[in-house]
Amino acid sequence: MNTVIVKRVDEGTADTNEIRDLARAAGYTVLDELTQTRTEDAAYHIGEGKVAELSSLVARTGVETVIFDNRLGPYQIYNIGREIPEDVEVIDRFTLILDIFGQRAQTRKAQLQVELAELRYELPRVDAKVSLAKREEHPGFMGLGEYDESRERDIKSQISRIKEELASIAETEEHRREERRESGFDLVALAGYTNAGKSTLLRRLAADLAVDENEDLHPDLDTTAESEDRLFTTLGTTTRRADMERDVLLTDTVGFISDLPHWLVESFRSTLDEVYRADLVLLVVDVSEPIEEIREKVVTCHDTLYERNEAPIVTVLNKIDAVDEAELEEKRAALSALAPDPVAVSGKEGLNVEALTDRIAADLPPLREERLVLPMAEDTMSLVSWLYDNACVEEVTYDADQVLVEFAARPSVIERSRSKASELTIPESA
């Protein structure tokens, strides 16, 4: 699929790098671009002269799609469509992002989220489409000739049905998180701009390739954490156990991107829950990019996290294999206000990963020390082995008729171990 890019900015020069990457991620080959610096034109978004230029560019290149890196109103799409060769589709940044998400959505949850986002995108446009469809000259414009008020009701009821189903998935996930916490795991989420290297880092930190112990129970989980040099490789969440002394589960998440309208973010809210409900967030940054770009992306990530995140954030400067030491120091200094005390690693090459695991261990909420004196009962040894699984056991001392266990664990694990200990039944002496 070939395409040309169009981008309008109010001032300065238009940067088309990201939209080109997005187009590529959706499967397009970008043949050319047109940019313009001016205020928005109500009818065409870009200037009328620019539209004429676009028309001849489309004719010359023979593309079937034009991608705008702007938000286009339905009337603007309609008007532009009338000026360029017939049957050429005009899409904007948000339709493109939805398109990518739609292609990547593998799990039921991801599919529902995409569907929800599409419906939310469409809802405010229904009116415009109805009135456009009524215009005689293009009765079947965008195949939407049959639009009417009932379409709006339809969309609204579909939206509420999807929201219900998503809420029930979110509940299952919340339940799963609680179970994991109770069995002593700390939850660490990898967050960051798309293509920063989150999935690569997840694989580097993971103890094993098995997705997680609960895989069978949770068919909604994605089974792989693929990496690829394209935007939005990861849409669902993948959870793996980290290769660390402390029991840590790492979750990979959907990448952030700038300039996402709230209805889209809203649709992916339950995916972001993995980030918001974590005990620690690793904010992964691609340090090989130009500093201005890094800064903008970090700000976008902070904005996305800002509202609901409560966990401490550790900034991870990833891809240090791609920069030299001087450059790294320079960027570290330039980012010091935004990202104090970052850890610099290369997920791909495995550089400095130990410093990162040390840091994760240090920044997680501290474990509490506990000491239990257990009577020698039938289930005593199974409780000791449960403690080995769910806590950091420091010492076990066996006496004639009791066992002393010293360990450190999360408060919830300590509570459960106490209640288990109180349930130990001492065999009646013969």
Q: Which residues in the 217-276 window bind Mg ion by CB under 5 A?
A: 233-234
State which residue, 240 or 410, has the beta carbon closest to Mg ion: 240
Residues in the chain: 430
* Residue 300 · residue 257 · CB < 8 Å: yes
Which helix (H) or strand (E) is 76 found in, with range? helix 74-83
70 contact choice in ligand GTP, Mg ion, none (CB below 5 to 8 Å, kind-dependent): none
State which residue, 176 or 348, has the beta carbon closest to ligand GTP: 348
237 contact choice in Mg ion, ligand GTP, none (CB below 5 to 8 Å, kind-dependent): none
Q: Is 196 annotated as a binding-site member?
A: yes
Q: Is 147 annotated as a binding-site member?
A: no
- What is the closest distance, in whole angstroms, from the C-beta atom of residue 301 to ligand GTP in the complex? 11
State which residue, 321 or 379, has the beta carbon closest to ligand GTP: 321
Token pair recorded at residue 49: 């002269």
CA–CA gap between residue 301 and residue 342 (Å, rounded)? 15
State which residue, 19 or 90, has the beta carbon closest to ligand GTP: 19
Q: Is 172 annotated as a binding-site member?
A: no
Where along the sequence are the contacts to ligand GTP (CB under 6 A)?
192, 194-200, 227-229, 231-234, 255, 318-319, 321-322, 346-349
Which helix (H) or strand (E) is 368 found in, with range? strand 368-375
3-state secondary structure of 336: coil
Closest to 392 (Cα-Cα) out of 421, 356, 417:
417
Q: Is 321 annotated as a binding-site member?
A: yes
- What is the closest distance, in whole angstroms, from the C-beta atom of residue 196 to Mg ion in the complex? 9
- 16 belongs to the binding site for Mg ion (CB under 5 A): no
DSSP label at 242?
A: B
Q: Which residues neighbour 109 within 8 Å (Cβ) at sequence distance 6 or greater?
A: 166, 169, 220, 236, 270, 271
Q: Is 186 annotated as a binding-site member?
A: no
Q: Is 288 annotated as a binding-site member?
A: no
State which residue, 199 or 237, has the beta carbon closest to Mg ion: 199
Q: Which residues in the 156-215 window bind Mg ion by CB under 5 A?
A: 198-199
- End-to-end Cα separation, the chain, in angstroms: 83
Amino acid at the residue 10: D
95 contact choice in ligand GTP, Mg ion, none (CB below 5 to 8 Å, kind-dependent): none
β-bridge mates for residue 242, sequence order: 206
- What is the closest distance, in whole angstroms, from the C-beta atom of residue 304 to Mg ion in the complex? 16
- What is the closest distance, in whole angstroms, from the C-beta atom of residue 265 to ligand GTP in the complex? 15
Token pair recorded at residue 256: 């952030």
Closest to 186 (Cα-Cα) out of 417, 418, 408:
408
Nearest 5°: CA angle at 5, between 4 and 9?
A: 155
- What is the closest distance, in whole angstroms, from the C-beta atom of residue 98 to ligand GTP in the complex? 16
- Binding-site residues sit at 192-199, 234, 252-255, 318-321, 346-348
Binding residues for Mg(2+): 199, 234
Residues contributing to the annotated binding site for GTP: 192-199, 252-255, 318-321, 346-348
